[in-house]
Structure 1
Amino acid sequence: MNKNKPIFELIDEARRQSGEPKLAGHDIMALERFDPDVTHMVVFDVLSHSSPVGNKGERMRLFLTDMGYQKALESQKCEEIKILRHAKIARGHILYDRGNEPIR
């Protein structure tokens, strides 16, 4: 491991080695994460072409406000998306739910 590489490159390298697909949407270090109104992070699969975000078959990460999270839950009820992971966000910090593993 090269200690001179930026953290985002190290994270991406670890993701590639694990075989996990790259997520569409917001990057783990996206500026949206640090918006004071953002309180949720969701990782989800896009199940339908009628989804308000993403393309069918994509796996996405989004940092959301409370209203955005409610819309995501509504999209899940309509079977447009399937939420795989949820975490609370506090001042840019990701507070994982018990049992949830980080998704990079």
Structure 2
Amino acid sequence: MKPLHLPLEGHDLLAVERFKDDTRHMAEFLILSTHCPLGRRGQYKRLFLTEDEYARMRSLERQGQLQIRRHAAIIEGHILPDKPKKRRR
């Protein structure tokens, strides 16, 4: 869930990066660490990423430097949001 008090920075929804052939992921994330290479602590950003860039971002998340809040797959410029997991009763 996007924090309401932070402005969204990074790529716009119609950014050129979204339509590049190698773009496969969109991620919105909150930077938690002062030493994060993707920005300053407290920034909330959206980026369109390749497979390698997304793998690096997941690594930074495991290290506690950022928290991915939203993710979507990108196929030929189309945004396909992740479906919520079904709850079994």
The bucket for the TM-score relative to the shorter chain is: 0.7 to 0.9
Tell me what 1:91 maps to: 76
Question: TM-score under structure 1 normalisation?
Answer: 0.74
The 5-angstrom pairing of residues 13-52 of structure 1 reads 21-52=6-37
The letter for the 1-side match of 2:24 is: T
Q: Which runs of 5+ in 2 are unaligned?
A: 85-89
Q: Secondary structure at the match of 2:33?
A: coil
Shift of 1:50: 1.1
Question: TM-score under structure 2 normalisation?
Answer: 0.86
Query: What is the aligned-residue identity percentage?
Result: 41
The letter for the 2-side match of 1:96 is: P
The letter for the 2-side match of 1:76 is: E
The structure with more strand, counted as a fraction of residues: 2
Shift of 1:54: 1.4
CA deviation vs aligned residue, 1:51-97 (integer Å, no higher than 9, x gap) = 11111001000000000000000000111100001100001110011
Q: Which has the larger radius of gyration?
A: 1
The structure with more helix, counted as a fraction of residues: 1
Q: Secondary structure at the match of 1:51?
A: coil
Aligned length: 81
Q: Which runs of 5+ in 1 are unaligned?
A: 1-18, 100-104
1:81 has 2:59 as partner? no
Q: Secondary structure at the match of 2:30?
A: strand
Which one of the candidate residues 35, 38, 41 is aligned to 1:56?
41
- Higher RCO structure, 1 or 2 (CA under 8 Å, sep 6+): 2
